[in-house]
Amino acid sequence: MRLICCRNKLTPTDYQHNIIVLTRSILLFGLAILMLISVAAKDTLPSDGVVAPLSLNMGANKSGNIFNRDAPPLPTMVGCFLLVHSSWVAVPCLSPEEAAKLPPLMEGGNYGVKGVSSSTISGSKVLVEGDIDIQFSQFSGESDSIYGASDWSVQDNTNQFSGANGDTYAVQFAVQNCGSQNCGASGSSNASLCVWQVDVNTQNYSDRLCMGTNIQTLSSNYHVSVSGYLSQSGGVYYLDSQFCDPIFNCWGVVNTDNKGLIGNWFGASGTILGYGGGSTADFTSPTSLSTKVFVDAYSVLCTIDKCG
């Protein structure tokens, strides 16, 4: 539709027609701008470790979790949750005794990549989200160097940072999969999702909150994501961990930010690694794996004292 402007005298109908045309043009222009912002708001680091700089980031993903767009944000309360019909339902967490049986997650091996934030993005210099995406295109087998076949973890790790007491801390959002019976916390196959808040100086891994998940089976088309992000309510900051399997079963763990990650999150790293306790995930050749690290630095959670 075009504007009517060539007649000597425009009728009321002509004016009405022109208003409709102008309104449509404004709406289409606005939609195009929103699409451009949305596309630019997510940043990917290739698995070869070359940093993909953060581009314009306006916080289009304020609900948290880059990969699983159909999942709503986790509740802002401490607990463990299962996604049921697009809603989070509270379920029991692992008891402290059961969680204590899980071996600590140690970064290492030859599979790490990094995501990096920038102080020039949207006035923010810190991250509020880091996600790990794992995609196999070819798989021949895997065995943990300590525990055995089908035992591994997908780790989403923050940078190390200094806490209020002077100790160095790090947070790990991770899934640990025990497909054998050699590593299970109860002496049998199981899997879990945890938020680990680690004192690096003392190697204290006791600050953990975990829940059980479905046991996973790797294959040539296996594709999962582990997401970690910050939320807040009533002045309390929370660490949110979310894991979704290939058929969109999703689990979530929420704990308070006990070590002060908010305002100190500058990088994210991780991939599929050993089950824990310093083990490695050893893959049978040929195996092809793609790891992508996504980071988000929108400033919706930032305050003057926290983000600068």
Q: What pLDDT was estimated at residue 14?
A: 61
Q: Are 126 and 298 in contact (CB under 8 A)?
A: no
**Side-chain-facing half-sphere of 275: CA atoms under 13 Å:** 28
Q: What pLDDT was estimated at residue 114?
A: 57
pLDDT mean across residues, the chain? 77
Q: What pLDDT was estimated at residue 60?
A: 29
Task: Return the amino acid letter for 294.
Answer: F
In a 10 Å sphere around its CB, with 0-12 CB exposed, 13-18 middle and 19+ buried, how is residue 244 labelled? buried
**Side-chain-facing half-sphere of 43: CA atoms under 13 Å:** 26
**SS3 state of residue 95:** coil
Q: What pLDDT was estimated at residue 144?
A: 93
In the chain, which stretches have pLDDT less than 50? 30-68, 109-111, 118-124, 300, 302-305, 307-308
Q: Are 230 and 301 in contact (CB under 8 A)?
A: yes
Q: What pLDDT was estimated at residue 39?
A: 27
Q: What pLDDT was estimated at residue 32?
A: 44
Q: What pLDDT was estimated at residue 231?
A: 94
pTM: 0.74
Which residue matches tokens 């594709």? 223
Q: Are 80 and 98 in contact (CB under 8 A)?
A: no
If you count them, how many residues does the chain have?
Answer: 308
Q: What kind and span of H or E run contains 30?
A: helix 12-40
- Which residue, 244, 297, 271, 215, is CA-closest to 74? 244
